[in-house]
Amino acid sequence: MAEAEFHWNVPADHPAFPGHFPGHPIVPGVVLLDRAVLFAEELLCRSGLNWQIGNAKFFSPVGPEEALTFSLLQKPSGTITFTVRAVDREVATGSLTPPAP
């Protein structure tokens, strides 16, 4: 089992902001999931995996320049659970299952 924390500062010029939403930019959930997958691959030292996403929940919107902490924990089954937090609140949770070897 592996466990780690990763940090990501949301860039103000992220390409998702202009269309999501004009005048009130927020990070789309898919961008948070993409970051969780990238950090899971870093945790496992494997890239390009075809992940299955389960139980993803989004609790609070994230704006430009926010600092996020991704906490990942690999379970004995191989599934990785993740929690995303901003400084003062929980943003998202979920699980990622890598393909069978």
Report pLDDT for 1: 81
Of 17, 31, 19, 7, whose CA–CA distance to 63 is shortest?
Answer: 17
**pLDDT tens by residue, 8-38:** 999 999 999 988 888 899 999 999 999 999 9
How many C-beta neighbours within 10 Å does residue 26 have? 17
Kindly list the structural domains of the chain, giving each domain's residue range(s) and its CATH number in brackets, ordered by start.
3-11+26-97 (3.10.129.10)
**pLDDT tens by residue, 67-84:** 999 999 999 999 999 999
Burial tier of 47 (Cβ tally within 10 Å: 0-12, 13-18, 19+): exposed
End-to-end CA, the chain:
16
Q: Assign 51 to helix, strand or coil.
A: coil
